[in-house]
Structure 1
Amino acid sequence: MMSKFFVGCCSLIACAVSIAEPLKGEAELGFVTKEGNSETQTINAKLQLSKDTLGWAHQAYFTAFNNASGDETTAEKYSIALQSDRKLDDRASLYMVVTHEEDHFSGFDYQSTIGVGYGYKVIEEDDRTLTLEAGPGYRVNSVVDGDTQSEVTLRLGEIYSWKFSETAELNQHLTIESGNLNTISHLGASVKSALTGSLALKVGVDIKYTDKVPAGRKDTDTETYATVSYAF
């Protein structure tokens, strides 16, 4: 039942993004070093789509990487995140977000979340913005060779962006989803510097912390990456 509901929510948000014109995007391809439940270096790919209108803002994120040594897979991860924001005024909004992740080395078959809540731009300036989000959510963790854990969560989010020069910017985000069974946090930071035209160089780090992990797994996964991005 939850999977059908999740797919339905993803479809609604994806349709809202895809039919809106013009659509902006950024594609990335580069190199990632992964530490934690898998220790490897491989190629990663990311895609971001966004649409901003007078009353709505839509965003979609897709990431993927896979690495193998001989016949042995050493890293494999796919994730998607979709968010729609209904603007209430210049600073306040109501949001709906759905995420799905399949990390074959995390001890989970998949992890899916859905959340709704209130967002507010605490800082709104020409060169920097800071947005805070809070609201209820629902999470499903499917443990490899184990039970499926479902629970209501409290979701807290923070998004910061700072354009510190004509050609460079810092982006940082933090998400904490806490329930009775588990607490999962994501922290990410990156610096992007324009090269020529639509091309830019991006370096960053993504950290995921899971309070309670399956037996034999580590609670922290770190991805350090360098990519070339193309904006369209």
Structure 2
Amino acid sequence: MKKSVLSSVIFCAMAANVSAEETKPFTMDGEFGLIVTSGNTETTSVKGKLSAHQELEKWSNDFIVEGLYKKDQVTVDDETVTQTTAQKWFLSGQANYKLENPDHRLFGFASYEDDRFSSYDYQSTIAAGWNQKLWADETSSFEYSVGPGYSYNKTADTYDDAGLLVPGETEKGLIVRGALDYQWKISDTATFKQLLSTEVGEDNTKSKSVTSLSAAINGSLSMKFSVTLDHNSGASDDTEKLDTQTAVTLVYTFF
């Protein structure tokens, strides 16, 4: 009987120790992808991203910094030149304050996006509301956020039929933001993630989907395949409403 009790105590202590090791207070991943071609076609594409997560007793926070740059050979007036064809920066942060039930939280969110080749010079958002983790176990987790917010955007400058500059306009107003975050640990080395968000406003509805599958190469390095869809319902007629980005990148886990 004493041996049985002692074994149970040792097992519980070991389980608690493993749980403490797995739940890190701060994690950060760095993502990088580079494509360079030369010869008949010359292109350069660079994608970088930093993702950080902080898990505290009363707070659960996420931060993202992301950039994309692309340069291609294009033909202008029968002359082949190299031009920048994509240049985008995105920053976001969400803080979740845990209530008495730690799976029930109040969130605050802020984001800023600067896309040189979209209909907008920049798009910014702040929002607050309810966040809930519906479940989280050894293999999967799912949480959602929903709440009101405010957007402040500036449309890009355009030119009229006479070639005169038409300055961009400021769009601002109330929005409703919703987001879903699903993660599935397929195996010890493979993880699937699906992120969805939408910001519904009077002038524009901005939606984003990020689907990714990552496979570990070693303890800190992994390979990631991702598909990102960005949709703006208020995009101008001369630009696409939907932007699609498919990428294969290396991810390094710093912490």
For normalisation by structure 1, the TM-score amounts to 0.84
User: Which of 12, 22, 27 pairs up with 2:30?
Assistant: 27
Distance 1:171 1:144 in 2: 33
Aligned counterpart, 1:192: 214
Letter in structure 1 aligned against 2:90: S
SS of structure 1 residue aligned to 2:61? strand
Distance 1:158 1:105 in 2: 27
Aligned counterpart, 2:9: none
Aligned counterpart, 1:169: 191
Aligned counterpart, 2:78: none
Aligned counterpart, 2:92: 81
SS of structure 1 residue aligned to 2:51? strand
Deviations 1:132-181 (A, max 9, x none): 11100111110012211001001111100000111111011110110111
- 1:58-207 to 2 correspondence within 5 Å? 58-69=61-72, 70-88=81-99, 89-145=101-157, 146-207=168-229
Shift of 1:124: 2.2
Distance 1:50 1:222 in 2: 26
Distance 1:177 1:118 in 2: 15
Distance 1:156 1:45 in 2: 26
Query: Contact 1:31–1:225 (CA<8 Å) still a contact in 2?
Result: no
Distance 2:239 2:247 in 1: 23
Letter in structure 2 aligned against 1:50: H
Deviations 1:106-154 (A, max 9, x none): 1211000001010111222221111111100111110012211001001
Aligned counterpart, 2:10: none
Deviations 1:34-82 (A, max 9, x none): xxxxxx8712010112211111012110111212235521110011011
Shift of 1:31: 4.5
Query: Contact 2:44–2:71 (CA<8 Å) still a contact in 1?
Result: no
For normalisation by structure 2, the TM-score amounts to 0.77
Whether 2:247 is the aligned partner of 1:225: answer yes
Query: Contact 1:31–1:226 (CA<8 Å) still a contact in 2?
Result: no
SS of structure 2 residue aligned to 1:229? strand
Listed as ranges, the gaps of 5+ residues in structure 2 are 1-23, 36-42, 73-80, 158-167
Aligned counterpart, 2:77: none
Distance 2:34 2:69 in 1: 11
Distance 1:219 1:157 in 2: 20
Letter in structure 2 aligned against 1:102: D
Deviates further, 62-71 or 129-138:
62-71
Aligned counterpart, 2:5: none
What is the aligned-residue identity percentage?
30
SS of structure 2 residue aligned to 1:212? coil
Listed as ranges, the gaps of 5+ residues in structure 1 are 1-20, 33-39
Distance 2:124 2:29 in 1: 24
Whether 2:47 is the aligned partner of 1:44: answer yes
Letter in structure 1 aligned against 2:145: E
Letter in structure 2 aligned against 1:74: T
Distance 1:154 1:94 in 2: 15
